[in-house]
Amino acid sequence: MNNLAIDMKDIVKKFGAVVASDHVNFQVEKGEIHALLGENGAGKSTIMSMLSGIYRADSGSIFINGCLTKIRSPKESMELGIGMVHQNFRLVETLTAVENIILGEKGSTWRGANWMKKKTKEIEELAERYGLTFPSSVPVWQLSVGEQQRVEIVKTLYRGAEIIIFDEPTSVLTPLEVDQLFKTMAELKHHGKTMIITTHKLKEVMAISDRISVMRKGRMIVQTLKEDTTIQELANLMVGQEFNEGVPIESIPAGRPIIEVRDLFIATKEHNNAINRIDFTINEHEIVGIAGVAGNGQKELAESLTGLIPWTSGEIIFNNEKITVPKVKDLIDKGIAHIPENRMKSGLAGSLGIVDNLLMKSYRSTERGRFGLINKKATNQWAQQLVEQFDVRTPDLISPVGQLSGGNQQKLLFAREVDLKPKLMIAVHPTQGLDVGAARAVHELLIQLRAAGSGVLLISEDLDEIMQLSDRILVLFNGQINGIINRGQANKEAIGQLMAGLSRKDEVVYESKIVI
């Protein structure tokens, strides 16, 4: 058994009444790529946090390379040769890659130019050995997401990691960058490193891993070799029920146009052509998906259509009415609903209760109270009804919504927005961070809106979601529409290439715009 890099036995961890890890056994062999699968809240992160010294187990034992150990801090974890590449990178944006990597290093008081030169060389050599390239002397914020991730990987290697944990590494990457990452992982494996990857993307698991562990609700369900399983089986194990490929969507002929966007141009302080002359129309009974890598104008587009930022030129005609001065309040009243990108940051107020969060869009209406007052009793009844209708699991109506699970928060947000009976729903990353069950509920809600005659603008990075729901897919790249694909004609590779700025004929359609 001494071929095991990690051997966790009978691990129990409780957070209050919640058992996050229920007598979990987890083994990783040396030199393998091990995928840890599970929905959000299945306990993956808890297990990984124990390995990286952030949490300690209530009971159970951990053997690293055959030795019984207690990992009491991230530092000790590092000393044991465990490195972690976090989902949200732990980098200081204004420092260079090299400075980030040597940050916190002890043992040298004087750090002159020579020392830096030596370190830079050392790090560059290390990076090269594993085929990881990134500009080492520009501030990290100027690097692409993929490059930043490579910096994180080199950071763990530099600190002597033999076991590298990747926490949802592909969630922020483009398809091309994912390929690159997988090549890197193969290279690391070749050098004898052990890797654990946590994810809920099944196809990636099948592409990269040697062995697979599936967790569900704090329990280890199965450990298996990749060859012995299929995607379908893994999906079933993960959700614990028959998994079917998405919610069925009936074909409804599109109605009259709800929103027409013509020659829209948006310049912001950060980006002087965030949206660069785009045209599109959304009709009744239609879901239009916007695909694209983050930062290609999606945020600005959503903010303009909801009145949060003004556009520079072009026309937006909503419901046959030209919108001249965009105001959030007017647009809400006209019937534009919005599921913002980050629900806790801009959709809900975490410290307030259910009622106050549901009121956000409708507190001005006479139904909620007259003469500038809010009728508490009627409002509470209304809130209770919405909670039941949308199946929001909450102990009561006043406890802070920050304590609800992500899925329930999103349901609450949908309850509020759908209750407005919107003509247009702008949903930005509506299933980000949700488990399969909650994501399915969100998809059903969007499909119901479409059936009821609303138009939906769906902005998402999840191609499966976009392809499944959209009647039409627009691919945004550098603020422009780089391709339009109708339902049924979509395939992932084509969208991926359009997202990366390539046209369908594989030619580069943009010149390098990096001017310093």
Partner 1 sequence: MSQKSSFDPLSMKTAKNDHGIPFKLEYDPHKKSGGWWVPVLSILLALILCAIFIMLNGMNPITVYTKMLVGAFGSSFGLSETIVKAIPLLLCGLGVAVAYKIAVWNIGAEGQFIFGAIGATAVTIFLPNIPGALYIPLMMLAGIAGGAIWGLFTAIPRTHFQVNELITSLMLNYVALLLLDYLVYGPWRDPQGFNFPGTPEFTPYQMLANIGGTRLHFGLIFAIAAVVILAFFLAKTRWGYELRLLGANPTAAQNAGIKINKHILIVMMISGGLAGIAGAIEVSGVAGRLMYGISPGYGYTAIIVAWLAKLNPWAMIFTSLFIGGLIVGGYSVQTIGLPSSFSSMLQGAILFCLIAGEMLSRYRLKRVK
- Residues of this chain that interact with partner 1 (CB under 8 A) are 15, 18, 20, 40-46, 49, 53-56, 58, 72-76, 86, 88, 306-308, 327-332, 338, 340, 345-352, 356, 359-361, 363-364, 369, 372-374, 376, 400, 402-403, 405-406, 433
Write down the least CB distance from residue 437 to partner 1, Å: 15
Sequence-ordered list of residues with C-beta below 8 angstroms from that of 496, at least 6 positions apart, any chain? 174, 175, 176, 463
Residue 269, helix vs strand vs coil: coil
Residue 293, helix vs strand vs coil: coil
Task: Using the minimum distance from each CB to partner 1, give the nearer residue, 115 or 363.
Answer: 363
Task: Using the minimum distance from each CB to partner 1, give the nearer residue, 6 or 78.
Answer: 78
CB 339 within 8 A of CB 302: no
Task: Using the minimum distance from each CB to partner 1, give the nearer residue, 404 or 476.
Answer: 404
- The tokens for 49 are 């946090």
- The tokens for 74 are 């991230």
- The tokens for 119 are 């370190």
- Residue 184 to residues 179, 209, 232: CA-CA distances in angstroms? 9, 13, 27
Residue 73 to residue 79: CA distance in whole angstroms:
10
Write down the least CB distance from residue 374 to partner 1, Å: 6
Write down the least CB distance from residue 40 to partner 1, Å: 6
Task: Using the minimum distance from each CB to partner 1, give the nearer residue, 15 or 141.
Answer: 15
| CB atoms inside a 10 Å sphere around CB 432 | 17
Write down the least CB distance from residue 380 to partner 1, Å: 14
Task: Using the minimum distance from each CB to partner 1, give the nearer residue, 403 or 486.
Answer: 403
CB 498 within 8 A of CB 483: yes
Residue 325, phi-psi category: left (phi > 0), alpha (psi -120 to 50), beta (remainder): beta
Write down the least CB distance from residue 347 to partner 1, Å: 6
- Residue 122 to residues 18, 85, 175, 281: CA-CA distances in angstroms? 46, 20, 31, 54
Write down the least CB distance from residue 498 to partner 1, Å: 30
Task: Using the minimum distance from each CB to partner 1, give the nearer residue, 415 or 481.
Answer: 415
18 phi and psi angles, rounded to 5 deg: -85, 125
Write down the least CB distance from residue 464 to partner 1, Å: 22
Write down the least CB distance from residue 214 to partner 1, Å: 15
31 phi and psi angles, rounded to 5 deg: 75, 15
Q: Where are the alpha helices (DSSP H) in 390-510?
A: 406-418, 436-451, 463-469, 492-499
